[in-house]
Chains A and B, each alone.
Chain A
Amino acid sequence: MSGSLAIDLPAIAAALLATIACGSLGNWLVLRKEAMTGDAIAHAVLPGLVAGFLVSGARSAVAMFIGAALAGAAAVLLTTFVRRSTRLEAGAALGIVFTAFFALGVLLLETQGARQVDLDPECVLFGSLETLFYAAPQDGPWIAGVPRELWALAAAATLALGLNIAFGKELAAHAFDPIHARLAGRAPLLVERALLAVVTAAIVASFTAVGSVLVLALLACPALIAAPHARSVRGQLALSLVIGGALAIGGYFLAAHAERLLGSRSALNAAGMIAALMALAVPCSHALRALVSRRA
């Protein structure tokens, strides 16, 4: 593989896989008016990531994943408890719980010496798409050189697509009319928990590679870009993935080759660029829709 491809290709693959994983699940969060839940979970998994790291003593993917999943679940349960017992509005309960979890994660990171390793708060927030690269192995098959973040992302994308295919009907029923879904016996609680579990898995897998900025952009923006143009849930899902993928590739190139394309001093943060582009595309898409329907 040539030098440039060895750097660009893994980063683009990571961005695309994260788009598939988070973007497809984001459609359900947006339909359920829970777009900020993704943001909350993205912050709340940090102490779990760090604890998993500290317990296993290395950057063990399995330990960090288990820790993060536990932290995400604990945050969701605690938010529910807070809402039930204080009658705070949903956003405020979410805001208190996820900032407390994030603060705990930062405290663990800064005091327990995990700092020296490449797990630092800045990387967790902004991501490091640029540092994913293909290193051809000395011996063994070529596939051994693929960065391991990509495997986690591929697994999460598969899981997310699997959930969409297997439970699409139930998710749609529950998103549009939860009461009817419950009466019709479409196991709403199970579906809700499955969705939250897979969202957490997708966030954790995406986290270390693309950072929380891009994760929360992916959970909300592609779905909101596609929403005004789609006539069915399936159409919205497909459209959101296509547009999301295109923006991810475009944003990556714009940032990684910013010296040539934008005349900056050095390459820019790719995850942030993709997030900003996607957010900008949301009002554009809605304005376009309004323009088209006014003409017609």
Chain B
Amino acid sequence: MSAGSLGANTLGVLAGCVLFGALAGAVGTFVLARRRALVADVAGHAALPGIALAFLAGEALGLGGRTPWLLLAGGACTALLAAWCVAILSRWRRVGADGALAVSLAGFFGLGAVLFSVVQSHPAGSQGGLRTLLLGSAAAMGHSEVLTLAALACATLVLLVAFSKELALVAFDEEFARTAGLPVRRLDLLLTLLLVAAVVAGMQLAGIVLVVAMLIAPAAAARNIGVWTQGRLGGVTCIAALIGALSAAIGVFASRSTAGVPTGAAMTLAAAATFLATIPLARTADRSARA
């Protein structure tokens, strides 16, 4: 399909993608500030076993394996579980933060691979409908997928805006937030929930392996620019959302105009290129700060 023949459905998909990009950029800014970037990576990979379980459950209950909200819910459950495992394990002295990430990632993604092979041996699972969730495909999205994504994205953005002040305080000065009486643990849980929501919203588009890029890269690029503009968090968040939305739109157009280009890879590369292009800005800002 050429980029010129954008039908009604394409416009819907595009709207969904732009919404997801904005959401990922905004949530990513807080994730990055709280130094949880790789938790997003673990959560993305960990959605796989949940998706496979949701497929099998949907088939068993007669709902059909590819019910969008069921797949999203399943992915969200295991992604949350993995984030919880990371939090628990990293408190164990001998495991450490990086060990906790690696172990959770390996465990959940390994389980996902096993369950994926169960799905593929399932009579209804062999057509490969779930494969698009690995690497993302906007073209495979139907009307109901776009609506589910839009609802999820709107709810997440509202929550983010409502609690942005508290989340920012916890991210930048945990000690102060604690002495000021903020419920740090509950706010961390909220941030994890928002992160997981962004991950499952994006897995249809970017794929579970690459969805982390859409959370980190736009936020990091915005921070490069933000250092230059005195780093107001509200401004950085808006710029990150803008970069995320643009990258997602580029991904959709690239995959529509060139056969075989997966949406997830295209939007990841667009976001990463934006980040690389903004590095000189951070460097000049650094230099002028030192001078």
Per DSSP, chain A at the interface is helix
Interface flags for B196-237 (1: CB within 8 Å of A; 0: not) read 000000000000011011001100100110000000000000
Contacts of B113 in A (CB 8 A): 125-127, 211, 213, 269, 271-273, 275
Q: Is the CB of B92 within 8 A of A286?
A: yes
Q: Which range holds the interface residue count of chain A?
A: 35 or more
A89 CB-CB contact with B under 8 Å:
yes
Q: Determine the chain B residues whose CB is within 8 A of the CB of A34 once the complex forms.
A: 98
Known: A106-B135, A125-B209, A126-B113. A86 touches B268 (CB 8 A): no
Q: A35-B99, A275-B106, A280-B107 are in contact. Are A86 and B37 (CB under 8 A)?
A: no
Total of A-B residue pairs, C-beta within 8 Å: 207
Cα A231 to Cα B230 in complex, Å, equals 50
**Is B5 among interface residues, defined by CB-CB distance under 8 A?**
no
Known contacts A95-B41, A103-B269, A121-B134: does B35 contact A272 (CB below 8 Å)? Answer: no
Task: Determine which of A89, A220, A268 lies in contact with B35 in the assembled complex, contact meaning CB atoms within 8 Å.
Answer: A89
> Contacting chain A: which of B6-14, B157-165, B254-262?
B254-262
Q: How far is the CB of B15 from chain A (nearest CB, A)?
A: 23
Does A266 reach chain B (CB closer than 8 Å)? yes
Bound CA span A86–B220, Å = 9
Q: How far is the CA of A237 from the CA of B264 in the complex (A)?
A: 39
CB contact list, A252-289 vs B, under 8 A: 255, 264-269, 271-280, 282-283, 286
Interface residues of A (CB under 8 A from B): 30, 33-36, 38-39, 43, 82, 85-89, 91-92, 94-97, 99-100, 102-104, 106-107, 110-111, 115, 121-122, 125-127, 211, 213-214, 216-217, 219-221, 224, 227-228, 255, 264-269, 271-280, 282-283, 286
User: Known pairs A87-B286, A220-B102, A269-B117. 8 more at Cβ < 8 A?
Assistant: A91-B37, A92-B38, A107-B269, A127-B113, A268-B117, A272-B113, A275-B113, A279-B110
Binding site for A on B (CB under 8 A): 32, 35, 37-38, 40-41, 89, 92, 94-99, 101-114, 116-118, 121-122, 131, 134-135, 209-210, 212-213, 216-217, 220, 223-224, 258, 260-262, 264-266, 268-269, 272, 275, 279, 282-283, 286
Cross-chain pairs A/B with CB under 8 angstroms, 23 sampled: A33-B96, A92-B220, A96-B217, A96-B220, A97-B272, A100-B269, A103-B268, A106-B210, A106-B265, A122-B134, A217-B107, A220-B102, A224-B102, A255-B114, A264-B118, A265-B118, A269-B114, A271-B113, A276-B111, A279-B107, A280-B107, A283-B103, A286-B95
Closest 3 CB pairs of A and B: A272-B113, A279-B107, A275-B110
